[in-house]
Structure formats: C-alpha cells, structure tokens
Structure 1
Amino acid sequence: MPEPIEIPEENRRNIIFETDPGDGIVQEIKQHIRETGEPHTWWGHSHTKPPPGSKPIYLDEFEIPAPKDVNGVAPCPCCPHDSAKYKKGRIAWFPQEMVIRLVGKDCFAALDREGHDDAVVEMRKRQRRAREIAFILSQIPKLPQVLDTARDALPIAQDLDAVEVALKGRLENTLRMRAWQTLGAGELRVRESLTESFQRADGSTGERQIESMRIYARIRGAAILNPLNRPLAPVISKAIERLAEVATDFSDVDHGNLEDTERSRVAKLVEREQGKLRETLEKMGERQAFLSPITINTLRTWGAMPNAELRCIFERDGETLYVGRDQNGKIRVPVGRNVDLSIPRLPART
C-alpha cells in the first residue's frame, strides 16, 4: 500500500461555509495550491468523506504543480486511504453540508456518478457564462473605436469593390484575357527555350530544344482577379449595423443579469463581426497592393516582354488604370479616389 500522507487534524472535521464561497475563496485556494502543492492543507478544506445523498457544486478546477510523469500527488476525501490519488482536481462545495472539499477530478463519480456528471455540466455552464461576461466587458469599451475604424474603412472598400468589378469585366469580357488563370498565384512567368541532351536509339547523343516556364517576378494582390470574390463593403456595412446595435443596447446593462441565450448571442456576435472586419481589412490591403505603383510597374515590364506568359499592358495614371493586350488596344478602368487611402486598423485583440 502506498505511504499515507499526513492530513492536518483541523482538516479532518467539517469546516462550515454557509453560503456559496465565491470567487475570492476560489482564488485563495488556487494560490495555496500553486504555492504549496498541498490542497489538503488549505485551512478551509474538509477532509471528510461525503455522506450518501450529498451533492457537490464544482466551483472550479485546478492542477497541482508536479512533473508530467507523476499522476498522484494529493489525497482525496472521496477515496479510501490517505495516499496520493490525483494531480488534477476540483473545488467542490457541498451546500447540504456547507463544506468545501478539494477532490480528485473524477473521484466523486465513484460515489455518485449522476451527481458528479450534473455538477460538471453546471460548472461548464458557469465557466462559459463567466467567459462571455468577461469578453463582453472587455469589448464594449472598444466598440466606439471599432465602429470609427469600420466607418473610415467603408469608402475605401466601396472604391476597391468598384475597381475590382470594372477591372475583371474589362479583362474577362472585353479583352478575353485569362488573367486569373495566369496571375492568380501571384507569379509572373516567362517562357524559356533550353537545349537538352538525349540519347538516340543507336546510342549516339543528340540535342533538342524544350520550352519551360521560369518565374520572372512575384506580385501581391492577385486575389483581386478571383472571379469568386464577394464584395467587401457590404461586410463592413453589416458589421457597423450589428456592432452599433450592441454598443447602443448593451453598454449600460448588467451583463450578469442577461438571459444565457442573449448573453451568448451578444458575445458571439461581437466576436464574429470583429473577426469579419479584421479579415476584410486584410483583403482590402491585398487589393490595394495590386493597384500599387510597384505592382503595376512590374506587370507593365513583364507584360511587354516577348516571352511573357501573357502579353499585356498594365499602366496607371492617377485615378485611371489602363489594361490591354498592346498599346493600341488598351482600355480605361476608373480608380476611385479613396482606393489609395491608408487602411485603418482595429484595436489589438485582448
């Protein structure tokens, strides 16, 4: 039998907590465990076996500091013998007895499986509730800045959407150029003829010309040519609408008193819409990159090369982009004045 662990005499009796101990006691327990590695020596721990019918409320979980290969560290009042039983445990308050027991993660299940499972379910609900409240409280103060960022980004997105539609229309419908198929990977390729040696059937060596493709340059922002793209501005508009509603309706309410379904809805909405905004701002940056002088100049130089995979013209003059197969056949694509504005940034994640 493993060596018994000494339990302080004062912990071998029931220590009364008449009401829900609250977060202050929970944090005190977890600090004691971090500092000592001995849950059973915390002053409020009742190292007594729960009687039949006593149901726990799991207040939180903890892990005792110990090497990874060690599974048993502390004794559990639910288990026989005062030997090392567990490393991962739970803070259990038994309201009928009005005591706190620090027990192994699943040890109480051996005494009452249903009571254990119910307590785990309720603990998960409380943990989710606490996370949602903390998240909402952390995000509500940021919403004015988030909304300002989104409103500043909206006209840029609208102009980028407009130039994307016009550009793809000119390339695909007017010029019949397979721009997406050629440029979609962001690689500008050129054809090269190489001399290859080979062995003839009679054993002699000969030479032959083969054609290969070489990457001349890489460009950013080719995603603007993707025919499956969806407009960016409506995503921002919808995010503004939904987040403004949250900022108006939920800034001055007690989030702890909200119905669980409503609080979850608000937390998920704020997280989802901010995620969409971040993704959209990144896409805007990519589209801007395609219209930048460095990309347009690279395309112009490459497209004029006789061995370019796609012979083409790309030129930009202020608010006008010119595209075509050659100088005589280039056509105009209007570029809105907001396209080159600096894309605003959302507040950092916390």
Structure 2
Amino acid sequence: MSTTQAVQKALGPFPKLPSPSVIKEFKDWVAETGQPDKWKWHDHSTPPKDHDYDELVKFEIPDKKRADVGLACCPICSPNKGKYFKGVLAWFPAEGVIRAIGHECAEKHFGTLRFNRARAIRKHRQRVDAARDFLFNHLPTISALRQKVETHVSTSEDIDRIRHVIRGTVTKAACLKLAKLGQRGPLLLQESTEIEVTDHNGISRTEVTSQVVGSVNVDGLGFLSRQFLTAAQARNTAQALMLVRALNEDEALTFICDTLSNDDHLFQADKLARAAVDEADKLWDTIAEAKAFLHPDNLMKLTEWSNDFRSGSPFLFEFRREHPARFGVRKRGKGIAKTRYIPIPQKLRSQ
C-alpha cells in the first residue's frame, strides 16, 4: 500500500469539511429515528483528547421519540450506555470522521480551549451561511422593493395628513387616550350604577359601580398614537435600499461568492441589506395599520361605539357607508361640536 493510500485510509470518509447535504441527512435521520448514534456515518470510537474538532450542528432527540429510543450513547464517555438527549455533531479533520457526542462531554474531554474554539467556529460558520442565504434571497428583490417604496411615498404623506387633521380637530391627547383604550383589548360599553352603602360607623354614602354591558373589536388604533411621520419612514426606507446593490440571481451569486469572499465584507453587506428590508417591512406594517383603521367596517364600528353614551370615548366618529370616501370626527362635550370631515384617498380605501 502506498503512503498516499495509507493516509487516505487513516483519514476516513471525511478528509474535508462535510457538505451541508451531509449535515441535513444527519438532522433528518435524528428527526425520523431519534438515534444519532445509529447514523451510518457516526464513528463509535473514542476521539483522542489532543485532536481539534469542529462542531457542525447542535441537535436533540425529539421529545416524541425519547420514550421509545431512550438516551443516545456517547463515544467520549459512554459508548455502551445511554448518556444524552442533546448533543453536537462533530467533525474530526485529523481522522476524517464524524461523531455525534453529548453536549456536556466535549469540554471535559478536550479541555476548555478546544471546546470554545469548536463552538466559535460553528457559530461563525452559521453566521456566514445565514448572511449568504439572506443576501442571495433578497438582493434580486431589492430593485422591485425600491420601486414599490417609491410609489408609496405619496400614500405615506396621505396617512400623515389624516392623522394630523384628526389630532388638530379632537386633540392629540384624545387620540392617545383612545389608542390606549384599544391596547387593553376590545373597546367596552359600561353602565354605571349608584348604590347607597353604610359603613361600620353607621354613616351612609353613595358609591358608583360600573358593569360591562358590551364590547367591540376594532383595528388599527395604533395609527392614532404613532409618534413618527410615515412619509419620513418611507424616505428613510428608500434611502436604506439605495445603499444595497440590486442584482439578479446570477449576479447575486457571483457578488456573494467573489466580491464578498472576505467575511467582514459579507457581514457588512448583510447588515445593510437586513436594515433595508426591515425598514420596508416596518413601512408596510404602518400602511397596513392605517388601512385597517380606515376600513369601512372599522369606521362603522368606531362610529357606533363612540356615539353610544356608555362608551366614554374621548371623541366621536361619523361614518356612513353611502359616503365611503370620507369620515368625520368631532370633540365630545356639552355644546354642539362641529364635525370635521376628512377625505380618504383612493389608495387607502379597501377594495
């Protein structure tokens, strides 16, 4: 046997880092059988204490399998007896083998230095994989996302205008109060009752008790309490997207593998892309919240609830289905307050 053949034999089946498909095969095996120590590529021999190793993936035996298969054997400390439910799949480059080991066994066997090194390598590799996956999935969407944001700038300005008019009519404090009532759950209808009670000194007094007699679920009240301008949010989102290169799938793959071969550059690109996508998601949430608030059914509920004397609403709504392009608000008070009618732009109306 040649020296090369002897080395290849000594290295075992994995002289190089196992591919993601091998790791997936192991994870699928554990999910299906609950027996990591019975996997075909698991090496049962005890690893040398002075060998470095890489953590490939953390795993655990599924709860539903534990009663049937019991604890898995660990090649480090318990090769013939069940030892663990949670473990780590580890690659040993000097031997070219893979072992499933218990999660508490490695540090004592290999020492803290090797244990921490293996864990740090796994976490770094996972971060690299996550960054590459995110960029590959999102870089081809950036161009369309940027165009979509730009078309919603005027919609965002309309949302700010409607909120501004409401607050200018019934006060910001009243808007915040109503939004706070909505945070607690359904908007309530309560009836108050006065009862006479006598204390232990024989002194009578009147107490007021309230009882919930109805409730209504409404949407989008957070729209009233937003502290930032939606239009500014849209512009910030567009600016964040401008910092990210818009590429098709082939260009993205080349960009990630070649231009971003340095991990620091990869992480910087990932950070920029995630920030841009997150900003876009927040913008869509804000617009969706405003649309939910302005939905005809929602405005109808707010009209009926706020005009019921049992609601205690800080201000009143007015909406009629025969006029779906507008709604009104007015202050609550003893005098006759003037209703301010606010137009609902077409882009904010529910179809």
In the alignment, what sits opposite 1:288?
294
Over 3 Å counting, the alpha-carbon distance change for 1:265 and 1:185 in structure 2 is same
Which residue of 34, 46, 49 maps to 1:49? 46
| 1:226-241 equivalence runs, <5 A | 226=225, 229-241=227-239
| 1:1-350 equivalence runs, <5 A | 15-34=12-31, 37-64=34-61, 66-67=65-66, 72-76=71-75, 78-79=76-77, 82-113=80-111, 114-143=113-142, 146-147=145-146, 149-172=148-171, 178=174, 180-181=176-177, 184-186=180-182, 187=187, 192=192, 194=193, 196-199=195-198, 218=216, 220-226=219-225, 229-243=227-241, 245-246=243-244, 248=246, 252-254=251-253, 255-257=256-258, 258=260, 259=263, 260-266=266-272, 268-289=274-295, 293-295=299-301, 297-298=303-304, 301-302=307-308, 309=312, 314-315=317-318, 318-319=325-326, 321=328, 323-324=330-331, 329-330=337-338, 332=340, 334-335=342-343, 337-338=345-346, 340-342=348-350
**Aligned with 2:72: secondary structure?**
coil
| Aligned 8 A contact 1:156 1:338 in 2 | no
- Report the RMSD for the aligned CA atoms in angstroms: 4.3
What per-residue deviation string (whole Å, max 9, x for no partner) do you get for residues 134-184 of structure 1?
2333334554564455445433331121121122122239xxx95644675
Identity between Structure 1 and Structure 2 (%): 20
**Aligned with 1:92: secondary structure?**
strand
TM-score, normalising length from structure 1? 0.70
**Aligned with 1:17: secondary structure?**
coil
| Aligned 8 A contact 2:140 2:252 in 1 | no
Distance in 2, Cα, partners of 1:64 & 1:222? 45
Compute the displacement of 1:198 (Å). Answer: 3.8
Compute the displacement of 1:120 (Å). Answer: 0.8
What per-residue deviation string (whole Å, max 9, x for no partner) do you get for residues 271-306 of structure 1?
52244134313431344249965156426744xx6x
In the alignment, what sits opposite 1:5?
none
Distance in 2, Cα, partners of 1:191 & 1:44? 71
**Aligned with 2:181: secondary structure?**
coil
Compute the displacement of 1:87 (Å). Answer: 3.1
| Aligned 8 A contact 1:14 1:99 in 2 | yes
Compute the displacement of 1:73 (Å). Answer: 1.9
Structure number with the higher helix fraction is 2
**Aligned with 1:164: secondary structure?**
helix
Unpaired segments ≥5 residues, structure 2: 1-9
TM-score, normalising length from structure 2? 0.70
Over 3 Å counting, the alpha-carbon distance change for 1:207 and 1:37 in structure 2 is closer
**Aligned with 2:100: secondary structure?**
strand
In the alignment, what sits opposite 1:4?
none
| Aligned 8 A contact 1:315 1:321 in 2 | yes
Over 3 Å counting, the alpha-carbon distance change for 1:209 and 1:53 in structure 2 is closer
Compute the displacement of 1:118 (Å). Answer: 0.5
What per-residue deviation string (whole Å, max 9, x for no partner) do you get for residues 35-58 of structure 1?
555544544443333335310012
Distance in 2, Cα, partners of 1:15 & 1:134? 30
Compute the displacement of 1:105 (Å). Answer: 2.4
Compute the displacement of 1:342 (Å). Answer: 3.5
Over 3 Å counting, the alpha-carbon distance change for 1:224 and 1:189 in structure 2 is farther
What per-residue deviation string (whole Å, max 9, x for no partner) do you get for residues 66-115 of structure 1?
42698732241x23653333333322222233333332224232232211
Distance in 1, Cα, partners of 2:175 & 2:74? 70
Distance in 2, Cα, partners of 1:68 & 1:244? 54
**Aligned with 2:244: secondary structure?**
helix
Distance in 2, Cα, partners of 1:143 & 1:136? 10
Distance in 1, Cα, partners of 2:90 & 2:343? 65
Unpaired segments ≥5 residues, structure 1: 1-12, 344-350
